[in-house]
Structure 1
Amino acid sequence: MGGFRALLQKEWREQTRNFKMLWIPLVFIIFGILEPITNHFLPEIMKSVGNLPEGTAFQWPTFQGEDIFVSLLGQYQFIGMLIIVLAFMGSISGERKNGTATLIYVRPIAFSSYFISKWLVINVVVLSSAWLGFIGAWYYIGILFNAVDTGAVIGFIATYSLWLIFVVTVVLTLSAALSTGGTAGLAIVITLIYPLVDSLIGTYWTVSPWKLVPYAADWFQFDVDRTDLWLSMGVTVIFIILLMLFGIFMSKHNAAKTTV
């Protein structure tokens, strides 16, 4: 237990030293705040800089607070996924390459503790960043648009949080199994490209981890059957556990590749 606590402290110091504890939350918060502010003032901005002929009627769709949350979700699905992949793709493979892992592997520490300590700290960084971004958006949505049902917002954030945990697990497992470059490429395919494919042909199946993002947006609709959501959440938890087990195995399997 003492070794696991030491690994947690090491990971926390590393994230702090690399300023990931600062810049990742800042990015999520900035996007969270800008989304409602931009959508509120965009009609006026377009009128002033749109160079429209005099007398032209400018019609802009009326957004509700729920629409802003869904729009922000789209921002996080692109910018947020890139941040997670690029920030943490070398979490394990990078330590193997630069030899840092040698200082850990020679100690009597279980590979499960090594992997899980990274998994926990990275999830704390990612989830707290996303939560702060959503809370910032929620505050300005309430001021500039309309009050959004608290239960719907909590369900929305909780569902998306499980997706974020899945993404973190994918990135960390790939980092344990592959090189840093290989992790980046495959993680982008899994977290950015495949969801686009799923949105096009995913009508043939309704249960998978990649369905969590659209199902998160469904929390703002109160007459939706959530059976597929609960099944997708269950499947995602199973995927996360299996990926973690595989990541622990690959961390041990590739330990011999560590640069000395």
Structure 2
Amino acid sequence: MARLLLIEDDPAIRHPLLQALRERGHAVAAVATAMSGLQAVLDNRPDLVVLDLGLPDLDGLELLRMLRAVNSTPVIIATARDDETEIIRGLDSGADDYLVKPFTAAQLDARIRAVLRRGTGPAGGPPVLAVGELRVDPGGRRATLAGTPVELTPREFELLHYLASRAGQVVSKRELLTEVWQLPYGGADKTVDVHLSWLRRKLGETASQPRYLHTVRGVGVRLAAPGEDPTRGGPVAGEPAGGDR
């Protein structure tokens, strides 16, 4: 059973969805405004937030940015905004998934379970990944650099974990959009670039002076330990050996 917070101002949507999610075994609280949602997250620390964007007191994207500034609670945006630009803005702002209205409670429940599964591993826990002094613990959803915790949003952690699991390989942006953002239809490279920029800052590096994250222009990115040759050979993950695009 997950503890959910539903932030939705329309009672015609909020009440049926609240009831349907409870019938599916979740413990659900619901609020109708952005600021009451922010307070509920800080006070109750739900497992996941379902967030509408069209709120009466504050745009949902602004609330999402406020949430990301203080904690890493998973967030699924559930909104009528279906423009691709809006979807990318939502994901770039830190959302873990984006669901366009109208949708069924069963669809939302499936998305909730999928997002929550990303934070759990099999019995005994998956192994901690080590790249130089960087440690990525998928079971605990933690990352440390030289023993110091690295504070990451859920999406940043998933990006770092995916790259760490393929350390030494060049991973294409197309693959990252498919596997990390779950956008099989593709998406804007800027989505990846923005998150890589945030990740670099938190790892204490820049694109011009990389330590762990090495950009291969026109292809993708490679995570490698400092001191390793970032130009060494190897196929691009998700591409045929010797391929380029």
Provide the TM-score with structure 2 as the length reference: 0.31
Which structure's relative contact order is higher, taking Cα pairs within 8 Å and 6+ residues apart?
A: 1
More helix by share: 1
Provide the TM-score with structure 1 as the length reference: 0.29
More strand by share: 2
